[in-house]
Every structure is written in C-alpha cells, then in structure tokens.
Structure 1
Amino acid sequence: MSTSGESTLEDFEAEVRTFLAAHAREKRAAEETKFVWGEGEDAVAIFEEIDPEEERRNLAEAKRWRAARFDAGLGWITGPEQYGGRELTQAHERAYARLEAGYETPNMGFFGIGLGMVAPTILAHGTDVAKDAYLRAMHRGDLVGCQLFSEPGAGSDLAGVETRAVSDGDEWVISGQKVWTSGAQYADLGEVLCRTDPEQPKHRGLTAFVVDMHDPGVEVRPLRQMTGGASFNEVFFEDVRVPDDHRLGDVNDGWRVALTTLMNERASIGSGSGGAGAGVSSIDRLGAMLRHFGKADDPVLRDELVRIWIGFQVGKLTGQRATDKIKAGQLPGPEMSIGKLALTHNLTALSEWVSRVLGPRVTADTGEWGTYAWAEYILGTPGMRLGGGTDEVMRNIVGERVLGLSKEPGIDTTSPFRELKARARS
C-alpha cells in the first residue's frame, strides 16, 4: 500500500484498474446507457420500496465490497493512516470514483450517512476510544451509522430537542424519541443529540453521543412513505446507557458538534451522494428516454435537458469545493447550503421534465421501458426539500451569510430551555 508521498495519480489509477479488474465485472456499453436510476455511491434508497430480505442481501453484498476496497487500501483514500486511510488527495478520490463507475458494483447507499456525516463528526470531536472503535470499522463496512437528530417537536428548530441524557457516574442514560431517521433499520451505531441541561438556553444545553443501535433499550419503527418505501424510521430510547468515552465534544457543547454533522450532511447531499447523482441525471440515459419516446427532436425538451444536466454539474462542483475545504481542515461555510438548495432545485426540474416526457405513462405500470419506475422518484423528490435542512432554512442561511441581508427576528438565547418549553405549551 503506497502513501501520498509515494503514489502519483497515474500510479494510483493503475492500482485501481488492477483492483477493479480482479474484483468486479466491467460494464458493457449498452448497460451504461440503459435506463437504470440509482446506482453506485449515488444511489437513493429514499425513493424505492425494497423487500426487507432483499435489503439484507444487498447490505451484505455492499459490506463485502467495502471490505475488499478497504483491505486493498481503497476504502478511505483521503483518510488518516492511523485509522486505515491513505492520506491521498481529493483528486485520487475522484479518480477512483470515475474508474469504479465503469464496473458493476453493489449499491453503496447504505453507507452514505455513516461515512458522509457521522464518521467525519467522530473524527472531529470523538475521544480516542470512539475513533479507534468506529472509524476503521465504518470505512471498512463492518459497521453502518445513522444520524439521530430530528424529533416530533424539533425539526428545523433542531436546538429544541427534548431527548434527555442524564449523567450517572461514568455513563449517561438516554431516554426519548427521534424521528425521520434514515437507515436506522440496518444501522449498528448512531450519532444522537440529547439535552443534558434544561436549565441552560436551548443551544447551550445539548450534548452529542455515539449510541449502540443494538442496545435492548433502542426500538426502531419504520415509517411508510407515499413512495411505498420505508427508509425513514421512528427511534425510541428507553434508559439506554452510553459510556462517557462515547461522548462527542464537551458536555453542553453539542450544538457545535451538531453543526459539524449538518455541514457535512449538506456537503454530502449537495454534492450528489445523498440525493441524486450520475445514475439519475445521466444525460445519456435521459437522452435515450427522449429517443425511445420519439421526442428527440423536440427543441424545448432538448433545451431543458441540457439545462438540467448543467445544473447537476454546477451543483456537483459546488459540493466538491465544500468537501475539499473540509478535508483541508477549514471550517465549513454557507456554500453547503447553496449546494443543498441547488440539489432540490435540480431534482424538482428533473421531475417536471420527466413528467412532461412521459405524460400519463408515469401513472400506471404498463410494463413499458422507462415509464412507471419514475413514479417513485417523482413522489420521493419533495422529501429532499426537507432532509438536511428545509429549503426555507437554507435560503435564510444564504440570505444572511452570503448576501448580507437582515436577519429574521432572533431567538431567545438567554432563557433556560425548561422555561421556553413551558411557554410554548402554555
């Protein structure tokens, strides 16, 4: 395994080609242009209904592939060597993704939240015990992570979470409820944001932890979506004990930890890995759709298709810039909110375009190629306006931090959370 000082990009690409040729089947040209949405690292489980048994098989295949990648030195290309990384550059990461896209590989969407949001937070704020226990295992695919932030009464107002963590010696006891937790049904660990001091103002009385999702006190209940899928869940905690060495950051400093996760989440979603990437927005596949339905000469549809493709490319570059900034050790900035907004705009534009191309064909399953399969995508797209921060919250961030517009009326940052909660319920 060569390190960054020994591996040129050309050498690295040769290494990747050798690995892929030995472990995967190369795609045929026909397979690269046929209609298959949701592939590879950019797959979106949110849009499709999957049988639980099939999901288990897919997860097992994905874990085997990540293990093979990691053992070959390709599982955490930019990560620190201490935890199994290569300490190479983002250019190496992009080269690997480009080369792997030419091969048939399992769906890596299972790891998107854990590797895109939870693992970077553990690396930034975790104890040595947590880093040693989870970072290598997560990047190897041995463990899958989820994010436990939102609650029935705390969505966009995330600082209003009520799930409690009470100190008990060298442990914390967690009780409460989370909701809209993607992937909780197959997660091994979760990053949970809890209230540890209700006498503090709500942003200052929070603490984050890494929790074992297999603990007997954790209950996961799937939430059925209008797409037919159930990738979101309610999660209930009943006296779940977490050791203090699984705390992320300082006590009552959980808001700063949560911001790290949220910024990584928006970078991940905005760059395509959390929403829709090369699979769904491939201009080759969408062009094939136009040709198949005899609309390849429609100038309006052709113009809109190119605009959509450009939109995804610009969003991808914006997300790449944000990700590079984080990898370089810089603080995340508002460009991630721009990327998140761009993604939802692009997804909506694509949904409207597909609906015009297909017309009534999208409403009933006739078995015709490239028609009804889009129904799940179209139904699932509105949910992306909520995940990772609503469009309204993103616009506020861009307006205030990028455009310098006046802030909305401020929140009460001085009253204890207990007092604020009592006011809200009176």
Structure 2
Amino acid sequence: MRTTDQELADFAATARKWLAEHVPPRADEAGRPVAVFHDLPLEEERALLGRIQEWLRVKFDAGYGALSWPVEHGGAGLSALHEEAFAEVEREFDTPGQHELTSVSTALIAPTVQMFGTDAQKARLVRPLLRGDALACQLFSEPSAGSDLAGLATRAVRDADDWVVNGQKVWSSGAQFAGWGELIARTDPDAPKHKGLTAFLLPMDTPGVDVRPLRQMSGGSSFCEVFLDDVRIPDSLRLGEVGGGWAVTLATLGFERGHSGATADVGGGFAQLLDTARQLGRTGDPDVRRVLAEVWVAERLAAVAAQRDRETQLAGAEPGPLGSLRKLAWSQRLALVSGAAAVVLGPRLVADHGDGTFRWTEHVLGAPGYRIAGGSDEIQRTIIGERLLGLPPEPRADRNVPWKDIPR
C-alpha cells in the first residue's frame, strides 16, 4: 500500500508533538556547529556517544527508532519516507546530534545482520544495534585496498570450528568505542578477488585485536587502524556463506550510500555562512553574495532532488543507483561550502581572531573525508556511468584472475 502526502504530513505532525515533549526546540539554526568530524578528547567523545545512545533508546522505545523496519523485526512497519519525514522534523529540535559510529551501527550493520545473519546472530545483535545498546564498526578498508576493496589482503584461515585472522584494517570510524566489528577477510586466495571473501562478526575485545586511533587533519581521531594478530573467530560468528563476503559487503555499502546525505546533519551550510557574513559585515561584497547564492541554490536543488526521490518512492519505484548520484552531489556540496567559507572569511580562515569564525576550519578540513567515505567520488562516477548512463564498463584486467596471481 502506497504512502500518501497526507499520511506523511499527519505522521510528521504527530512526531513533532512527541519530540516537543522530550527535547527542546533548536534555538538557532545559524549557530549550529559546522564541524564535519568531531574534535573531542577521548572521554568527551565517549560521553557524547553515551548521550546519543540514550536518545536512540528513547526513540526506539517510543516506536521512532526503526521506522522502516518490519514489525516482526522490531520496527514500526512504515516506509523509508516516514523515516525521512521524522529526520526532517527531528532537525528542528536540540537532540544530542550524530556520530559516525552510531550511524554505522543503526543504518549499516543492523540491516546487514538482519539480511545475512543466522537466527542466533539476529537475536544477539539486531535489536541492541537499533536501540543503541550495542555499537559496531566496519572493518573493510585496508592500506592497499580502499576503493579497490575486493583486493583486500586480510586473511582468515579455517581451524576446526574457528577462523584465525591476520591483517590490518584502516579508516574504521569509531572502532575505539565499538563492541563489534563487521569484518571482511579473504578465505580463498586461489579464487578471483570478489569470490574469495567471507564476512564475520568480530567482538572487538577478542585477543589479538589492536585498535589505534588516527589523528585527522581536522583535529579529531574518529578514524582508526585495526591490527589483527592471530584473532580467533568462531564459525558461529560468520556472517553469510563462506566465499559470500562480497555480497555482504555490497549490501552494507548500499545501505551506506543510501544513508549518506539523506538524514545526516553534517558540516555547515547556507544559514551558518550567512550568519558569519553578517557578523563580519560582508553581505555587500559581490564575491560573498555570489558564493552565498551558489550554496543556497545547491541546497535548494538538493531539496528538489530529495522531493523527486520521495515522489518516485511514493509511486512504488526503487531508487537504485541514484544513491550514488545523491552521495556524489552531497560530497560536492560540502566542498562548495568550504570554498564559500574561504571567500567569506578571507584570512580569518587560517588565523584565529577570537571572534568564533575560526570554527569554519573544522568544516574545511573535514569535508574532503566525505569524498572517500561511503565509496570514493571516482567509484560513484563509475556506478553512475555504467548503471545510470549505460556507458561501457571500465576494462578490468583482473577479472576471473585468482587473487594470488594479481600483481601487487
């Protein structure tokens, strides 16, 4: 049964009333933080995560935590449109905010476990992940396997009822706080690279797991590298079939691309730029007016695109590879805001004048990260070219070649 505009409006009104009873309204959109990634000491970031987890529990217990999930899986049985409508209304209120790790746990790994997990794995993890009781990170990328993720080298070798894992992962957001990790490892080096992978659910306190936070140029240390030294994982924590890890990976990445920019409240935008321009008395400058207009137009186009996607879903169609188009546009919009901030601030962008404008460096230094997160811009363009435009696929010399024979 299709959702109507009136049903969405009624749902949004009910959600707004509920939110008003639990959290205060957001006082000033212009004063919202502009940072793309958190730059907090370890314990402050842990405390922030705790507040976000508590808010996730409140929403879940009230029926707003898994809106588009089927009722039999602990959700509300509503549509993705209801989820978007709630996210839009939630932005009007002063909630604890977002963190990469909670977003990964609820929007990426929980649905992946629901899709591929055994009954025991689902019972153990899905509800805790959705409710904020458990946190899970991705253990995908490696120093030599980023965009070419299928070329990863971390090895998992079967030993009776266990798998012994050795290797290294990197760019694992929030791994220092995670209780679980979704791990992709190579189990058959004699198979072509996409076919020799297997997925696992890894308790992060397993002996041999060494998590090392990485200091980012934006100041924070949300990203981590993870070393795996003779880590033993029971076969009962294998996620999906042996050799079926690429299907699990694609599912998680699909959830990630669909989530990127859809409900995220990340970085600065037109409202904050206009506030800064007024603060500095620069709204009469032609260059400042030009970049402000460019950001405003980009945000309005994004809203139109979101509305078109919403109407497409109302008509019963699936978004498909449009997720790559939206994700690419989102990362480009973050870069556009960075360029606009440079014009508005001038020298203040690189020197702290004590007037609060230096906070824009947190956006400028963090925005490039989203050209990689969720699949690099280059990967998105390939998907758009091949699946939306129907262009010939790029030549792949390693197709059907055993992974061990691919030059590295």
SS in 2 for 1:209: strand
Q: For the structure 1 residues 207 and 346, does the alpha-carbon distance in structure 2 shift closer, same or farther, using more than 3 Å as the test?
A: same
The count of corresponding residues between Structure 1 and Structure 2 is 403
The residue number in structure 2 matching 1:41 is none
Q: Decide which of 120, 127, 132 is 2:123's aligned counterpart.
A: 132
**Structure 2 spans left out of the alignment, 5+ residues:** none
The residue number in structure 1 matching 2:326 is 339
**Contact 2:141–2:171 (8 Å) recurs in 1:** yes
The residue number in structure 1 matching 2:338 is 351
Q: Decide which of 79, 91, 103 is 1:112's aligned counterpart.
A: 103
How far off its partner does 1:125 sit? 1.7
Q: For the structure 1 residues 10 and 348, does the alpha-carbon distance in structure 2 shift closer, same or farther, using more than 3 Å as the test?
A: closer
Amino acid at match of 2:228: F
**Contact 1:201–1:415 (8 Å) recurs in 2:** yes
The residue number in structure 2 matching 1:387 is 373
Q: Distance in 2 between matches of 1:91 and 1:338?
A: 19
The answer to whether the aligner puts 1:240 opposite 2:231 as a matched pair is: yes
The answer to whether the aligner puts 1:23 opposite 2:14 as a matched pair is: no
Q: For the structure 1 residues 330 and 198, does the alpha-carbon distance in structure 2 shift closer, same or farther, using more than 3 Å as the test?
A: farther
The residue number in structure 2 matching 1:121 is 112
Q: Decide which of 264, 283, 288 is 1:296's aligned counterpart.
A: 283
The answer to whether the aligner puts 1:89 opposite 2:79 as a matched pair is: yes
Q: Decide which of 347, 353, 358 is 1:372's aligned counterpart.
A: 358
Q: Distance in 1 between matches of 2:313 and 2:209?
A: 32
How far off its partner does 1:310 sit? 3.2
SS in 2 for 1:373: helix
Q: For the structure 1 residues 394 and 92, does the alpha-carbon distance in structure 2 shift closer, same or farther, using more than 3 Å as the test?
A: closer
Of 220-229 and 402-411, more deviation after overlay is shown by 402-411
The answer to whether the aligner puts 1:50 opposite 2:40 as a matched pair is: yes
SS in 2 for 1:58: helix
How far off its partner does 1:404 sit? 2.6
Listed as ranges, the matches of 1:56-67 within 5 Å are 56-67=46-57
The residue number in structure 2 matching 1:36 is 33
Q: Decide which of 167, 173, 195 is 1:182's aligned counterpart.
A: 173
Q: Distance in 2 between matches of 1:247 and 1:326?
A: 34
The residue number in structure 1 matching 2:273 is 286
Q: Distance in 1 between matches of 2:14 and 2:182?
A: 35
How far off its partner does 1:73 sit? 1.3
How far off its partner does 1:160 sit? 0.9
Q: Distance in 1 between matches of 2:396 and 2:316?
A: 30
C-alpha offsets along residues 75-122 of structure 1, whole Å, 9 cap, x if unaligned?
111112233210112332233223322222112324111222222221
Sequence identity of aligned pairs in percent?
Answer: 44
SS in 2 for 1:131: helix
Q: For the structure 1 residues 247 and 326, does the alpha-carbon distance in structure 2 shift closer, same or farther, using more than 3 Å as the test?
A: farther
Amino acid at match of 1:186: F
The residue number in structure 2 matching 1:267 is 258
Q: Distance in 2 between matches of 1:391 and 1:374?
A: 23
Amino acid at match of 2:383: I
Q: For the structure 1 residues 329 and 306, does the alpha-carbon distance in structure 2 shift closer, same or farther, using more than 3 Å as the test?
A: same
Q: For the structure 1 residues 339 and 215, does the alpha-carbon distance in structure 2 shift closer, same or farther, using more than 3 Å as the test?
A: same
RMSD between superposed Cα atoms in Å: 2.7
Q: Distance in 1 between matches of 2:208 and 2:315?
A: 39
